Structure 1
Amino acid sequence: MEAAERSIVDGHPYHPCCRSRPGFTVADQLAFAPEHGADVALELLALPARRALAVGAWPASLRDDRGGTLLPVHPWQAREVLPGLGFTPTGRTLSAAPLMSVRTLAPLDGGPHLKTSLSLRMTSAVRDISGGSVRNAPAISALLEHVVAPLDGSLRITRNLAAAAALVDGEPCADLAAIVRESPAAGLRPGERVVPLAALAAHPLKTEDPAAWLGVFARLTWPPLLTLWDGGVALEAHGQNLLLVLDLGDRPVRLVYRDLNDVRVSPERLARRARLGGPTPNAPVTGHVISDDPVVLRRKLLGSLVGSAFGGLVSGFGGGDRQVEDRLWRVIAAEARRAAAELLHDPADRRALLEEPLPVKALTLMRLDGRPAGDEWTEVPNPLA
C-alpha cells in the first residue's frame, strides 16, 4: 500500500501549484515528501499527564515507562515549532513512511497510522490539528461506524483509535497534536490489496474494457455514498481519502474511507433517517463537522467524489481521448441516475447530482487571494448532466 501512496507525483487536479509546500526547503521536500521515497523519523515527545490531553485508547507503544504520553511529532515540526513552545525533544524516534498527505505516516513496524500536526499550508489549509478535532476524534469515528453498519460491508471506515495534544497554557496546542488511525489495510483477505483512487488515476489498471470496469466501480460506489449523504453524512471522498480494495484480478471489491476530520454531518438529516427506520446516532459529535446546510453537504461530497475521484479515473483511463472520456462518463452517469432515483429523497439533491453545475474548490484563488486559509468555491460543467 505504501508503494502506491508514494507512486503519485502529481497533486490536486484543480490546483496548478499542487506540489507547493511553503516552508519546506528543497532538502525538506526530498526528506519528507512521499514521492521521493524517504522514510521519516518521527520525534516522540514525552508529555507528563499534566501537559497532555489524550482521548480514546492511546497505544501502549506510545507511552513511556511512567505511563506518560509519547506524542509523535513530524521532524519538520520538531525543528521549526518545538523550540518556540518550550518543549525539548527526547531524541527517541519512530520510523515511518509518509503517505499522500505528507503528515500522515505508516510506522515501518506496522500497526495504526499516525496523523501528525504539520503547520504548513498545503493545498487549501494549514495542516495542524485543533483541540476540537482531538476531542471529537473518537466520537466522529463511532458515529460513522454506526451509520455505515447497515451498508453490508460495501464501505469500511478507518476508525480513529485515539488522539492527543500537548497542553500549552492549559489549552490543547494545534501545532502539537496527533491522531492514531486504523490502517486501510486492516481486514484485507488473502489476495486482496487496497489502493487510493488517486494512485489508480495516476497508474490506470490494464483492463481490456475500462467502461465495464468503471461500471462495476460505479455500482459499488454510488449506493453507499448517496445513502450516507441522504441520511446526513457527506464524505470528502476525493482520490486521497477514498480507497478501493481490489481482488487478485484487480476487480473492485469494496471501498475504504479514511480521514474523518473533514466530513460534514447533518443532525437534521440523521434525525429524519432515524424516524424512517435508519440507525439512530449515538455519539456526541460537535464542532466544524456539523452542518445542516444542504449546499455545504453537496459541495463536500460532489466536489470530491465527482470532481476528483471519478474525474481522476476517467482522465486516467481516457488518456486524453475526449470520445473515450465521454463514453466513460455516460457509464458513470447511468449508475448515478439509477442510485439517485432509489436513494435520494430530496429532489434538490438529485438535481445537484445530475443536472446542476459541479461545485469544486477554487484552489488557486484560495492560495493567491491573501485571505486566511479556508474554502472558496467555483462551478464547472457537470459531467453527469
Structure 2
Amino acid sequence: MVTSVLSALLREDVVGLRTRSTALERPDGTWLRLATGDHDALLMPVSAARPGFQSTLEARLPLLRRESDGAELADTDSIMTALAGLADPVDRDGFDAYATECRQALAVLRLHTATGDEVTAQLTDAYGPDPARWTGLAAGLAFDTPAARTDHPVYPTGRSRSGLTEGELRAYAPEFHQRFPLRWLAVPRDRLTVQGRTDQLPWPTPSSLGLPPGLDDTHRAVPVHPLTAGVPLRQALCDTGLDAHLAEMPHLEALPTLSMRTVALTAHPGIHLKLPLATATLGRLNRRTIKPGTLIDGAAAGRLLETVIGCTPRFRDTVLLADESTFVHAGHELLAVLVRRYPAGLDETTVVPMAALLSPSPGGGLVIDRLADRFYTGDPVALLDAVLTLLLDWQTTLFGHGIALESHQQNISLLLDRNSGRTRLRLLFKDNDGPRVNAARMRASLGEDAPPEEEFDDARIFTDSDEPVLDLFTTITVHLCAGAYAFGLARHGRAPLDALLTLVRERLAEACERLGTGPGQPGAVLRAHVLDSTDLPVKAMVTAGTLLSKDRSGASDINKHYSTGPNYLLRGA
C-alpha cells in the first residue's frame, strides 16, 4: 500500500514531488531528488512505465530516503510527516488527516486478509461456487462483497472509511455481507419534501413502530441507517429543530451494497434505499451524507437519459436505468432517503457491477474469468471487448448530446444472460446525479426535448463549453471503465498490454466515427482531446479529497479536480 500511496502523491505532484525534483541516475535506476530547503533533500526511487496508467513514473522500493543521514522513510506516518514539512503550514492538517486515513486503510486491509477465506465460504454456501450463476438482483449483491475487498484503480486508500470501528465494519460494510434491520424516524409531514411514488413502499406507520398512535396523522416514518441513528442524528435534529421521534423498534431487513450507504431490502431486492452516513470515503471531504439537491439532480438526470434513449432506438434494449425519481428529505444532509427501483425481469440475469470484474473469484481466478467461462467461451478479453463496444457507444452518444456521466465502475452493472442460445449483454446505470452538460450542445441536439436548466439544483452541472464534459468523460469512462481494465487484465496475465490498449483505442475510434469526424463534429472533438492528445486529465483525488481544503485546492467539486498525465492510448506511447 505504501508504494501505491507514494505513486499517487507523485502523480498529483504533491509538494512538487514531480515538477520540483531533479532526476538522478544511479546503478539501480532513476531517483528523484527533492530539495527540502534546509541543506537536505528527500530521495525517491522511481520506475518508468511507458505507457503508464495516468503517470509515466511510479514509486518503487526502497521508497523514500533522507539524503543527509540516509534514513529510510518506509511507512506512511513518516512519509506524510516529511512531506507535511514541505507543505504550506495552513495545509498541514490535511497531511495529518491523510496519515490517519492511511492507517485506517492498512487496518482494513489486514482485516480483509484475515477474514477472506471465511467470507468466501459464506458467499459460496449462500449462492453457490460459480459467480456466473449468481443470478437475479438478490444474488447480484454477493458481487459487492469481493468488489469491496478490491483496491480502487486510482485512489490508494480506497478501503478506508473514516471513524468506523472494526465491529461497525463487520456489521454494516459490504465486504462482510451481513444483514441488519433499519431504524426509523417519525418526522412531521409538513417538514418533509416528498417526490415520486411512495404509496407502494413497504414503510411502517409510526404507531406500528411502537410510537404514540397520534403521530400517524402528523408524522411520517423515514428510514435511518443504524450508524446514523446515534450522535449524528441527534445533532441533525438539534440543527433543524424538528419535532421528530426515533423509534426503538427496527423494521425491514437490509443488506449493504458496494456504496455502503445504499442498502438493499432483503424482502424486496428490487428496492434499494440510499441513506446518509456520517463517514467519508475516498478522502476526508468526500462525506457520505446526502445533500437534498443531489436528489433533485439524480431524478432530473434520469429523465434526461430517458430522453436520449428514446431518440436512439439501439439503446432501448441495451441500456437500462434504475428509477431514482422517488425521494424524501427534511432539508438536511442526514435526514434524507433516495428510493432506487431496479427494472423487473432480471431473475435469470447475472447482475454484476463493473467494480467486481477484477476481484478474486471463489474457486480461483477472477470474477471476469468465471463470467467469460459461461458467456464468452472462456475468453475474458472477448467479454471486455463486448463491454467496451456497448459502453463507449453509449457514452460517446451522450457526449454528442453534450452530456458526460460520473458513471464509474460502481455505478455500472453488466447484465448477462442467455437468450435463444446466445449471450446477451446489457448495461444498467444508477447514481447519475453528478453529470456535466454543455447546454448549447444539448439544446442543439435535443431541441424541444432538452430539459430546462431549472430542473436541476446544482449550477455546476451546466457548462458553456465542452471542456468540463471532456474532463469527466476522460477521467471516468476512459480511465476507470476502459483503461483500468486494460492495465488490470495485463497485470493478471490475461493478454499483452499493447493488445488491450489497442482494443480500447479501436473501440473508442469506432464510436467517434459514428458521431462524425468532420470539423466541429462531436467525434472530431473527442478524437482530438482523447485519442490524439499528448496528455489527458487525471483526477487529483488525494489532493482535493484530503490534503487541501476547497479554498486551497480551488476545487469547486472535489470529485472533478484534475491534474494531467500521459495519454496511454496515443499511438506509439
TM-score, normalized by the shorter chain, greater than 0.5: yes
Q: What are the residue-to-residue correspondences of 1:100-179 with 2, within 5 Å?
A: 100-110=258-268, 111-124=270-283, 125-149=286-310, 150=312, 151-166=315-330, 172-179=331-338
Tell me the equivalent position of 1:369.
547
Q: CA deviation at 1:189?
A: 4.9
Tell me the equivalent position of 1:291.
463
Decide whether aligned partners of structure 1 residues 382 and 53 sit closer, same or farther in structure 2, where only a CA change above 3 A counts. Answer: same
- Read off the aligned partner of 2:532 and give its amino acid letter: E
- Read off the aligned partner of 2:228 and give its amino acid letter: Q
Unaligned runs of 5+ in 2: 1-139, 207-215, 239-243, 360-366, 373-377, 551-556
Q: Displaced runs of 4+ in structure 1, greater than 6 A?
A: none
Decide whether aligned partners of structure 1 residues 28 and 173 sit closer, same or farther in structure 2, where only a CA change above 3 A counts. Answer: same
Tell me the equivalent position of 2:123.
none
Instruction: Decide whether the 8 Å contact of 1:340 with 1:350 is kept in 2.
Output: yes
Q: Distance in 1 between matches of 2:567 and 2:202?
A: 48
**Which of 85, 99, 115 is residue 257 of structure 2 equivalent to?**
99
Q: CA deviation at 1:83?
A: 1.5
Tell me the equivalent position of 1:41.
181
Decide whether aligned partners of structure 1 residues 63 and 295 sit closer, same or farther in structure 2, where only a CA change above 3 A counts. Answer: farther
Residue 194 of structure 1 pairs with residue 335 of structure 2: no
Instruction: Decide whether the 8 Å contact of 1:58 with 1:161 is kept in 2.
Output: no
Tell me the equivalent position of 1:6.
145
Unaligned runs of 5+ in 1: 167-171
Aligned length in residues: 376
Tell me the equivalent position of 2:166.
26
Decide whether aligned partners of structure 1 residues 280 and 263 sit closer, same or farther in structure 2, where only a CA change above 3 A counts. Answer: closer
Instruction: Decide whether the 8 Å contact of 1:143 with 1:282 is kept in 2.
Output: no
**Which of 70, 79, 95 is residue 230 of structure 2 equivalent to?**
79
Deviations 1:280-331 (A, max 9, x none): 4378233243333422211222211121122343244323449612211211
Residue 70 of structure 1 pairs with residue 221 of structure 2: yes
Q: Distance in 1 between matches of 2:502 and 2:255?
A: 38
Q: Distance in 1 between matches of 2:473 and 2:352?
A: 20
Aligned to 1:240, the other structure's residue is in SS state helix
Decide whether aligned partners of structure 1 residues 310 and 18 sit closer, same or farther in structure 2, where only a CA change above 3 A counts. Answer: same
Q: Distance in 1 between matches of 2:338 and 2:356?
A: 24
Residue 274 of structure 1 pairs with residue 442 of structure 2: no
**Which of 412, 415, 422 is residue 242 of structure 1 equivalent to?**
412
Instruction: Decide whether the 8 Å contact of 1:154 with 1:255 is kept in 2.
Output: yes
Q: CA deviation at 1:33?
A: 1.0
Aligned to 1:244, the other structure's residue is in SS state strand
Q: CA deviation at 1:340?
A: 0.4
Q: Distance in 2 between matches of 1:139 and 1:209?
A: 39
Deviations 1:187-219 (A, max 9, x none): 345632211111112222244433333222222
**Which of 219, 224, 227 is residue 394 of structure 2 equivalent to?**
224
Tell me the equivalent position of 2:127.
none
**Which of 375, 379, 385 is residue 564 of structure 2 equivalent to?**
379
Instruction: Decide whether the 8 Å contact of 1:56 with 1:163 is kept in 2.
Output: yes
Residue 339 of structure 1 pairs with residue 511 of structure 2: yes
Q: CA deviation at 1:41?
A: 2.3
Q: CA deviation at 1:359?
A: 2.1
Q: CA deviation at 1:117?
A: 1.0
Instruction: Decide whether the 8 Å contact of 2:153 with 2:480 is kept in 1.
Output: yes
Q: Distance in 1 between matches of 2:424 and 2:563?
A: 32
Q: Distance in 1 between matches of 2:171 and 2:231?
A: 15
**Which of 189, 197, 201 is residue 57 of structure 1 equivalent to?**
197
Decide whether aligned partners of structure 1 residues 259 and 250 sit closer, same or farther in structure 2, where only a CA change above 3 A counts. Answer: farther
Instruction: Decide whether the 8 Å contact of 1:204 with 1:316 is kept in 2.
Output: no
Decide whether aligned partners of structure 1 residues 189 and 30 sit closer, same or farther in structure 2, where only a CA change above 3 A counts. Answer: closer
Deviations 1:129-183 (A, max 9, x none): 11222344433322222222223322111121311112xxxxx001211111122
Instruction: Decide whether the 8 Å contact of 1:6 with 1:36 is kept in 2.
Output: yes
Q: CA deviation at 1:98?
A: 0.7
Q: CA deviation at 1:90?
A: 0.8
Tell me the equivalent position of 2:369.
205
Q: Distance in 1 between matches of 2:273 and 2:422?
A: 28
Q: Give the fraction of aligned pairs with identical amino acids, expressed as a percent.
A: 27
- Read off the aligned partner of 2:202 and give its amino acid letter: S
Q: Distance in 1 between matches of 2:397 and 2:340?
A: 24
Q: What are the residue-to-residue correspondences of 1:346-361 with 2, within 5 Å?
A: 346=522, 347-356=524-533, 357-361=535-539
Which one has the largest radius of gyration? 2
Q: TM-score, normalised by structure 1?
A: 0.89
Higher relative contact order (CA 8 A, sep 6+): 1
Q: TM-score, normalised by structure 2?
A: 0.61
Instruction: Decide whether the 8 Å contact of 2:415 with 2:427 is kept in 1.
Output: yes
